[in-house]
Amino acid sequence: MKEKVVFFDIDGTLLDHDKKVPASTRQTLDDLREAGHHVAIATGRAPFMFKDLREELGIYSFVSFNGQYVVFEGEVIYKNPLKTETLEKVLEFSEETKHPLVFMNHETMMASESNHPYIEESMGSLKFPHPEVNPSFFNEAEIYQTLLFCKTGEEEPYKKYKDLNFIRWHELATDILPTGGSKAEGIKKLVERLKFDREDIYAFGDELNDLEMIKYAGTGVAMGNANPKLKEIADYITRPVDDNGIQYAVQQLGLLSSKAEKI
């Protein structure tokens, strides 16, 4: 079978609901590599948030920050930071609306205020503590993603900033990205290095920040536990992450055989 590149989201895809990699998934990643395919991660997380996972799984190519920071075999090949002047305006507005922010670069993250319950709850869902406080961090480093902490719908007034895009990932948290930024755009940068055709791209995901990636991939796979909107546009829907979903899809799609089965 012609070699492919297979991208995996992290939360709800590589990691189960206990934030662990199922044994079947770990074996499947090894099998894909042994079959000659390229395995990569495509996530909304910052690189420092999944460093241990990359090392554990032996994956050195990734799309992070929903496409804003791309690494191929350990080399940074694409960066798309948010504009400092826009972040300054967002911070001023967030202080008026009482919504805290977290600014993120590839190495760390800093919060605009301390001990906020929305930050603690949503970051806690990812097994991360409340970040240290440095509201001017965006003036000191390139920021690839900012987190806005507010209830569903309360992000709407922030959409007046036309160079920003907003993607909700928790009932109390929304990603802020540059307009046009997405996992799909990051994947394009990485695939350019591999010189693969679009039909050679497989992508696995479960949430709304995976929409563009699933649409763009030659074969987009939604996990059984995926958001219904993602399932609507996926080429294939597999079993849930905690029911050997990745292993099942890889087998059914024929990625480990010379002839793919029909789906």
Q: Is 237 exposed, middle or buried (0-12, 13-18, 19+ CB in 10 A)?
A: middle
Q: For this structure, is 9 an active site residue?
A: yes
Query: Rounded distance, CA 204 to CA 238, Å?
Result: 9
Query: Rounded distance, CA 242 to CA 232, Å?
Result: 21
Structure token pair of residue 224: 């059984």
Q: Name the β-bridge partners of 167.
A: 175
Query: Rounded distance, CA 126 to CA 256, Å?
Result: 32
Query: Rounded distance, CA 204 to CA 8, Å?
Result: 5
Query: CA separation (Å) from 9 to 33, 45, 56, 150?
Result: 17, 10, 16, 24
Which residues participate in catalysis according to the annotation? 9
